[in-house]
Each structure stands twice: as C-alpha cells, then as structure tokens.
Amino acid sequence: MNKTSQPMNKWIPISIIAVLVVALAITATLMGMKISKLNGQINDADTKISGLQSQVNSLQANVSSLQTQLKQAQDIAASLQSSLDKANSQIGTLTSTNSNQAAQIKTMTYPRNFTSIDELTNWLQKANPIPVGVDPSTLTSLQKAQMALALEVKASRDGYILPAILPLLGNLDQMTNRAIVGDFIYEVRAWDNFAQIGGRAVPAMPSYPIPPPGQ
C-alpha cells in the first residue's frame, strides 16, 4: 500500500505548482491589462493637460494683449484729458481777456468826468509821471502841445474826459487840458501835472455826458 501512494504524492506538488503558474499567468495578464488601461488613462490625461496648457497660454496671451490695449487706452485718455485741461485753460484765459476787453471798450465808449480833484490828481500821478530831472522851462511849445494831446489819449483809454484845449490865437506854449469836476473847471498842464481852477460850470455837469446802458 505504501508503494502505491508514493506516485500520487509526487503529482500533488506538481499540480500545485501548475495551479500557481496558471494563477500567476492570469494575474500577470490582468495586471498587464490594468497597466495598459492606466497607461491609456495617463495618455488621455496628458492630452487633456496639454490642451488645457494650450488654453492657459492662449488666455495669458489674451490677458497680456488686453493689458497692453488698456495701457494704450489709458495713455490716450490721459492725453485727451491733458488736451481738455489745456483747452479749458485757454477758454478761461480767452473769457477773462474778452471780459477785460469788453470792460475796457465800455470804459472807452462811455468816458466820464472826474468825480473829485483827488481822483484827478491821483490819476495824473499814476498815468502821467513826470520824468525826474525834466525842466518844464526848457520844453518847446511843440513838446508841450504833444504832451497835452498824449494826456488826452491816456485819459480816454482810462475812460476819463480830459481834452486838450488850444488857446486863443493858437499859442501852443499855453496849450493845456481841461477837466470838469462837478461845477468846477480845472486847467491841467500836462508837462508838470499842475491843476488849477479855471472857471465854474453852472449848472454842474453830469459825470457821464452819455450814460452807459443800465446806469
């Protein structure tokens, strides 16, 4: 009986080994399939990652382009704002100039008499300064006449009535300017700014021979 059992015992390890080999083969096959599937998934993931990276690069390029366009637009806006500020400044300057010119034109269009002797003498000191060292006695008749005419123009520009008066017989040496202050008439010498009463105006003259509109 022992002799019969010995061959059977020899086949048992062989069967176990065969089963293990088959199991290993099946396991290896399954692992290979799983690995192949995983490799495919990895390749798909790489493809998707590459596509997403391409999209990211494209978006970054778009962002950079938009930032450049934004900077250009901001520069244009800043330049336009600067131009607008300059234009507004020029408009303000022109408006101020026009207002001043309009006021000056109105002043020259509607000249008036001096309201007081103080106003007359103060204006003479500012508008007709006598150069230091000038001796009126050395001035010729023509020079005195020219100074009287120039004083009339200065007064007219400032809105005052101060006409140059040619004396009787045409003696230029006696040519003066005449100012009316209320009911007094003042004779003004342009060469030394001396003013003295030369007569009375009865009744008193109005300040404006031609009143400006609204006055």
Sign of CA dihedral 103, 104, 109, 112: positive
**How much is the pLDDT for 64?**
87
Reply yes or no on whether the pLDDT at 108 is more than 70: no
The structure's pTM equals 0.54
pLDDT, one tens digit per residue, over 156-180 is 999 999 999 988 777 888 899 999 9
Query: Maximum distance among all alpha carbons in the chain?
Result: 186
- Would you list the domain boundaries of the chain? 1-110, 111-200
- Bridge partners, residue 164, by sequence: 177
**How much is the pLDDT for 192?**
93
pLDDT, one tens digit per residue, over 96-105 is 776 676 665 7
Integer Cα distance of 210 and 112 in angstroms: 8
Average pLDDT over residues 199-210: 86
Integer Cα distance of 178 and 187 in angstroms: 5
**How much is the pLDDT for 32?**
81
Q: How far apart are the first and last CA of the chain?
A: 157
Reply yes or no on whether the pLDDT at 143 is more than 90: yes
